[in-house]
Amino acid sequence: MSTNSESARLEALGYKQELHRRLHWWHVVGLALADVSPTMAVLLLTAGVFAIGGTFAIGANLLVAGAVVMIALCLAELGSMYPVAGGMYTLVRRVLPAPFSWVTTFNYFIQGIIIPASISLGIAVFLKELIPALHTPNEVIALIVLGLVTILALTRVEVGAWVTITMVVVELCVLGIVTIAALAHPHQSLIDVVFHPVVPRQGSLQGISLIIVLATLAPAFNVINGYDATLGFSEELIGGEKMIGRTVVSAAILASVCILIPLISAVIAAPDLKAFFAAPAPVVYSVKESLGFGASEIVDVGVIIALFNANLALIMYFGRGIYTTGRDQVWPEPANRRFAKLNRFRAPGWGVATLVIPAAALVFWSKLDWLIIFAGTVIASVYFCIGLAAFWARISQPEEERPYRMPFWPVPPIIVVGFTGIALAMQGKQFLIGELVLIIVALILWQVSRSWAPSTQATDIAEAGEFE
């Protein structure tokens, strides 16, 4: 499809082609993989999964990988229908009633504030481990990291894309070294760790129960996440709406493979499962046992690169989402004018600033750990709404053009809603209360928003009536 045709589709949806189409599919997949950050996922995020489910962490992540493909199919169809830079916010807004849109918006964008703050602090920790003589406070290092990321996010999109792709290649090389080293010294049976999982309990290894299986799914859900970033660059992708769908699915499959292979290898390489589970970062324990001298340096370099890369891709992605909310007239007029404005590099400067400024403030907040865990609840909530939207779109908009049609409908959205529903139900009470508070605030603002956008009121009511 030509660029003119792509722009015409965008204009038919009510938007101007202001972002420049400079990205090929591999650029966008690279940006999405940077957001997924396989190195960070394998070396750090899996620790919570092992702590709850033992070696069932492998089985849980295999199940999650299947769910990820189903989510990607939903995103692919909806993203091809609405190729707008708002990402998942746009998809829900276009299909479900306004209350769902506001709840999704809050759940969606809070990630773009919490996660950059936590990632920047994480870089400070690993940088100090790599350079022991560095005595700069973690908060100062985090602010410097956010500053560098902001500079890159405000330049031409292909600059950020090439930076992230280069770092993704380095990440995959590190994971390749980890995988080869692990497989060179196997200590556990692949069949046993997959089909006979055990969990540490009271000083011994015991079989798992259904309760443990269900409890493991929620933290595993956070490990393979971020492939949806492809949608944030829909207005800059060359190749047409169908290419958007293919790119989302490709990113999801590549992310799953890049995480599962080194993860399984690390468990097989663990010489002592009790010590493996007791380690703060179990996969790092296996890497050090396999590589010996120099393992710490490899891990530190890999994690620093992964964290910086994830930060850049995430801020670029969510910045474009904020930009789209301005075009959609979601906020009061002064905010809409700024959010919808691009800088001289055709990047959403105000959208990026809206994320970075509160993230910079959060690096000084002592309760950041709680927010990081809460982000998992937020992610599951957004995907739950995506499952609903993918199901409802076929029913409410049967005549709408679908350049990419998901196969096996309605199986993918049903699996997505069911899987994310279970993940949400298994979250801790305090996080569910936090999500409830977020929903209430979103609904209050939805009602208040009618005072500054009265023209949308009739549309909102009509959409809600159609849904019912």
Residue-level length of the chain: 468
The pLDDT of residue 413 is 96
The pLDDT of residue 288 is 79
Q: Above pLDDT 70, what percent of the chain? A: 94
The pLDDT of residue 406 is 94
| CA dist., res. 130 & res. 91, Å (int) | 42
| CA dist., res. 98 & res. 100, Å (int) | 5
Q: Where are the domains of the chain?
A: 20-467
Sign of CA dihedral 235, 239, 244, 249: negative
Q: How confident is the model at residue 3 (pLDDT cuts 50, 70, 90)?
A: low
Residue (of 26, 37, 43, 78) closest to 382 by Cα position: 78
Tokens encoding 400: 């709408």
The pLDDT of residue 465 is 39
The pLDDT of residue 461 is 36
| CA dist., res. 121 & res. 252, Å (int) | 27
Decide which of 193 and 384 is more confident.
Answer: 384
Q: How confident is the model at residue 457 (pLDDT cuts 50, 70, 90)?
A: very low
Each residue's pLDDT tens digit, 157-179: 888 788 888 888 888 887 887 78
The pLDDT of residue 29 is 92
Residue 265 CB burial class (10 angstroms; 0-12, 13-18, ≥19): buried
User: ∠276-201-282 over CA atoms, to 5°?
Assistant: 15
| CA dist., res. 298 & res. 129, Å (int) | 12
Picking from 124-138, 283-297, 316-330, 412-426, which range would have the lowest pLDDT averaged per residue?
283-297
Residue (of 261, 211, 312) closest to 38 by Cα position: 261
Decide which of 377 and 336 is more confident.
Answer: 336
Average pLDDT, the chain: 86
Residue 429 CB burial class (10 angstroms; 0-12, 13-18, ≥19): exposed
Decide which of 325 and 368 is more confident.
Answer: 325
Mean pLDDT over residues 246-274, rounded? 91
Provide the CATH topology of domain 20-467: Amino acid/polyamine transporter I (1.20.1740)
Q: How confident is the model at residue 357 (pLDDT cuts 50, 70, 90)?
A: very high
Each residue's pLDDT tens digit, 401-456: 899 999 999 999 999 999 889 888 877 788 889 899 999 999 998 888 888 765 54
